[in-house]
Structure 1
Amino acid sequence: MKIRPLFAAMALASLFGCANDPAPSEQLKLTEQAVSQATAVGATGEEPDMALAESKLKQARAEMQDESYKDARMQAEQAELDARLAEARVLTSKSEEQLAQMNTRLNRLRKQLGESQ
């Protein structure tokens, strides 16, 4: 019967451990940087991933105010990933546009070379 008090003590210790999560200040800084970087490459709130990132960052800030640090960290981490995804999608789209332009130019050059020979 000594096992039950041990489990009770472990359960209480885990509860106290969860309540004492440190403030995720560094994570919030990383998330804000990721959102800024995504914005700098052209991601806007019109893209679903960027809208999610901004919403989750706002929620993370609210959780920080409430001192719900675990929830704040989770929201901030998710917001960072959403912002990075939005950035990647914008960069991919820009690269695809550049590739299409290059292919168009290449085809024009091929036609010009074919006509001049």
Structure 2
Amino acid sequence: MLAGCGSNGSTSSSTASGSASSASGEVTTDGVTISIFDKNSGSNTFDDPVAKAIEEKTGVKIQVENPTGDPLEKLNLMLTGQNYPDIVLMDRGNDIVNRYIEAGALLPLNDLIDEYGPDVKEMYGET
């Protein structure tokens, strides 16, 4: 399951500084870092040639927060401390998802997917 998490206002490793260009109408993302927790990432730091190409093309840096020890324990600690990365990948079948939902830590993306991601909806349906 892919879920976007919001910050509780405390200091976080992710920052966003977007600015609009009046001439072209496009938005640039200078210095944006997106933090991701993936229980399956192992020790991946997302700094391979593909990651570097993504960063060069988009200006977005991906920071992977790797689990140390039991990933479920890390998820519980993040929830308890309200210190969430921007994106969390976790198993939907696990009760931890329900605890994140009850705590208001997950942001529903349904409206955004309906409006901007018809291809995502087509591919994944109600998943």
Structures share fold, TM-score greater than 0.5: no
- Higher relative strand content: 2
User: Could you tell me the TM-score, scaled by structure 2's length?
Assistant: 0.22
Q: TM-score, normalization: structure 1?
A: 0.23
Q: Which has the larger radius of gyration?
A: 1
Q: Which has the higher helix share?
A: 1
